[in-house]
Amino acid sequence: MLNSTSITYQMKREILTFSNKISKCLHKPDRKFAADMTYGMLASGSCLLTDIVDQLHENSKKVNSVERLTRHLNKGTSDKALKSYLMTIKKWAPSEPVIHIDDSDVTKPDGYKFESLGLVRDGSESSNTKSVYKKGYHVTEACVLAHNNHPVSIYSHIHSSKEKNYSSANDITFAAMERGAALFGKATFALDRAYDDNKMFLKLDALQQDYVIRLKSNRKLLYHRNWTLATELCNRRKGKVKMNLFYKGKNHEAYLSHIKVQITASRKDIYLVLVYGITEHPMMLVTNKEIKSKDDVINIAKIYFSRWRIEEYFRCKKQIFQFENFRVRKLAAINALNFYITLCMAFLTLISMKSETNALKVSIIQKADPIKGKVQFCNYRLAKGIRGILSYAKEGIRLWFRTKRPTYRQLRLKLAP
């Protein structure tokens, strides 16, 4: 047997084992559909149904296979599959998990037939001075950092203000927070300036969760019985705790300081952590986690700066699986497609958590042929290596779901005595 053939077989088996673990509570047609979507996306590097069907190597006509996948997607995301996925992800997280929540967008500038298509701010073309709006959908994502600090999604929802009975984006964010609290019991939520809102503080307090949130420049805090701008508190102090940090491709020396303050939302004692030396203006982080030492201050800053991982998660999702290139039109189908992309991203994280000496992982890295030896986010090279290995496959996964038929005994004529 050729080495390429044996590695391809191992890769298929690994994908199907993961897919069957998620879809074990579903009926056989739904289990096969989940395996088709997961295998097809990883093999093609695309979420386009025609590309997925090409990798399945089925005997039926291509149009019929695409229609079959579309019918399953139109049913939406299975609650049983989602529950199995969350229970699997829970085992990958540490005892005190960090959850990052952020918003992104998928743009469909030339789309006309997509359901509830609205206007979104295109993050790839917008800047601090100019905002570019295009037709598309909002995406709210919540990712937990696994044991190897790779992000894994626990909540991903595509939504639009054009939907019928749409309430608000805050309700979507609250749903993400509730899922994280229900799944892990206690977690630390790391949020950017866009979430500097009294409603967010009150929601996290009600859920009894920890948080690290970056403040806006106009936020006022209660300090020594006076309401003071957070920026004024920055000017009054200097960083005393030194911290070496790798940020945006460069090594920095940051200096940290902290103050006990209160916020308008809950009037509870929290800490303002000031970070000097990274950006033009000092970063202002608030947290309700207890600070008793220098290490606690450094840990708060590290939690916030790990936010780049969810941003990289969005970028990886769009580049590897061409997330914005989908063709399904119903919003339920789009969210179901997004769920299977999430499964593929989780599978990449599963491979990344394997030992560096694991034979399959070594083969994937060799096939990817990366330039750099080590990176902090290896999903790109893993996806490339998996595509390269599965390119040797001449058959899909249909034979792995062969129907088991009962064996019938041969009829015999009873001879007369």
Lowest mean per-residue pLDDT among 178-187, 204-213, 248-257, 385-394:
248-257
pLDDT at 205: 94
Q: Pick the closest to residue 382 from 14, 19, 81, 1 (CA basis).
A: 14
CA 404/CA 293 separation, integer angstroms? 63
CA 341/CA 325 separation, integer angstroms? 12
Q: Pick the closest to residue 259 from 206, 222, 311, 312 (CA basis).
A: 222
Element (H, E) at 287: strand 283-287
Q: Radius of gyration (Cα) for the chain, nearest Å?
A: 25
pLDDT at 1: 35
In a domain, 208, yes or no: no
Please, what is the average pLDDT of the chain?
90
Count CA atoms closer than 13 A to 323's CA, side-chain side.
27
Considering the chain, what percentage of its residues have pLDDT values greater than 70? Answer: 94
Kindly report the backbone phi and psi dihedral angles of residue 52, in degrees, each rounded to the nearest multiple of 5, phi listed first.
-65, -45
Which residue range(s) make up the domain with 258? 214-301
For residue 327, what are its two tokens?
Answer: 């063709």
Which pTM was predicted?
0.91
Answer yes or no: is pLDDT of 232 > 70.
Answer: yes
Tell me: the pLDDT tens digits for 28-54?
999 999 999 999 999 999 999 999 999
Answer yes or no: is pLDDT of 273 > 90.
Answer: yes
In a domain, 242, yes or no: yes
Mean pLDDT of 279-288: 89
Tell me: the pLDDT tens digits for 284-331?
999 999 999 999 999 999 999 998 889 999 999 999 999 989 999 999
Q: Is the dihedral of CA 377, 379, 382, 384 positive or negative?
A: negative
CA 104/CA 141 separation, integer angstroms? 8
pLDDT band (50, 70, 90) for residue 17: very high
Tell me: the pLDDT tens digits for 245-270?
776 667 778 889 999 999 988 778 99
Mean pLDDT of 391-402: 82
In a domain, 263, yes or no: yes
For residue 192, what are its two tokens?
Answer: 């950017």
Q: Is the separation of the CB atoms in 299 and 263 below 8 Å?
A: no
Q: Considering its fold, how many domains does the chain have in total?
A: 1
In a domain, 238, yes or no: yes
Residue, of 145 and 6, whose pLDDT is higher: 145
Count CB neighbours of 5 within 10 A: 12
| Mean pLDDT comparison of 127-131, 164-168, 340-344, 377-381, highest-scoring range | 340-344
Q: Is the dihedral of CA 309, 313, 154, 209 positive or negative?
A: positive
CA 290/CA 188 separation, integer angstroms? 12
CA 224/CA 246 separation, integer angstroms? 35
In a domain, 296, yes or no: yes
Q: Is the separation of the CB atoms in 107 and 120 below 8 Å?
A: yes
Answer yes or no: is pLDDT of 398 > 90.
Answer: no
In a domain, 148, yes or no: no
